[in-house]
Amino acid sequence: MSPRPMPKRLFIFGLGYTAKVVAGQAAARGWEVISTGSEGTISFADEGNVRLALADADHVLSSVPPGRESRGEPLDPVLDRYGDALKGMPLSYLSSTGVYGDTGGAWVDESAPVGTGRRTARAEADAAWLARGARVYRLPGLYGPGRSVLDRVREGRAHRIDLPGQVFSRVHVADIASGVIAGLDGPPGAYNLADDLPCGQNRLVEAACSLLGLPVPPLQSMEEAQLSPMARGFYAENRRVANGKARRVLGWKPRFATYREGLRALSATTSPTVASAAPATASSDQR
């Protein structure tokens, strides 16, 4: 009887909200997962053990965001500390479609220029990982269990903002994970992982209210809504994100092709108790 093959090893820097789902899908496919982060298996600062684990890894994924220049942090903490150990390794990186900046609602694909928006540090980190031959996944607004408009509506925090023509792309966290898994054996390069139906945030809020049987919040101006600076930044850019390259090259197909399927699935499986256990918006620290 021939010995069973050793499982492949996926090393994840930053076991955040999205990376946990990636880890779960990878483990279900027989991968052994090692990770850093507050819920990871190794501390990021434990350089000896991190380097030992990297030496045995078959693929490395980073969900760690760029450092903050104002705090004197490196552009990319992972590349700054462990870049030498990553040479020649298969790499993946979770980036943002914010690298495209504002397009006035026009479609963008991976050939669009980057670095003109408000996320210049993210664009620089994105470029640094591409230069290393990584698979760079550019993500729009993500949602999933405990982090969706359903939670904001339940908690009375949802807004409808009077900005005609404003449109966004989004993606379910499970579809991000399936895209990353599809890319483990795919060619390096940038990939947009977004659903098939960009739309305005107001439509999302209205759909959530309908699913929950709750009243629709009033239409407000930005000033009336008293949004936080982070939330106001969300409305500063307007674009539609095309996902054709990931479909063609990786054979990826989103399970939740639009917000309709995604929100219906969440409303059927997520209780208010579970929903309130996590923030309703993507973390700025780890995706």
Please choose, from the candidates 171, 137, 174, the residue with its C-alpha nearest in 3D space to the C-alpha of residue 20. 174
- CATH number for the segment(s) 9-275: 3.40.50.720
| pLDDT at residue 44 is higher than 90 | yes
The pTM for the full model equals 0.91
| pLDDT at residue 70 is higher than 90 | no
| pLDDT at residue 282 is higher than 60 | no
**Triad 129, 254, 262: Cα angle to 5°:** 115
Domain ranges across the chain: 9-275
Backbone angles phi, psi at 16, to 5 degrees: -90, -160
Strands 107-108 and 240-241 turn out to be parallel
Distances in Å between the Cα of 135 and the Cα atoms of 190, 221, 237 are: 6, 39, 25
C-alpha 196/C-alpha 213 separation (Å) is 26
| pLDDT at residue 112 is higher than 60 | yes
How many other CB atoms sit within 10 Å of the CB of residue 278? 14
Average pLDDT, the chain: 90
For residue 221, how far is the Cα from the chain centroid?
Answer: 28
**Which residues have C-beta within 8 Å of that of residue 87, sequence separation ≥ 6?**
132
C-alpha 163/C-alpha 283 separation (Å) is 25
Residue 283 is predicted with a pLDDT of 34
Average pLDDT over residues 210-225: 93
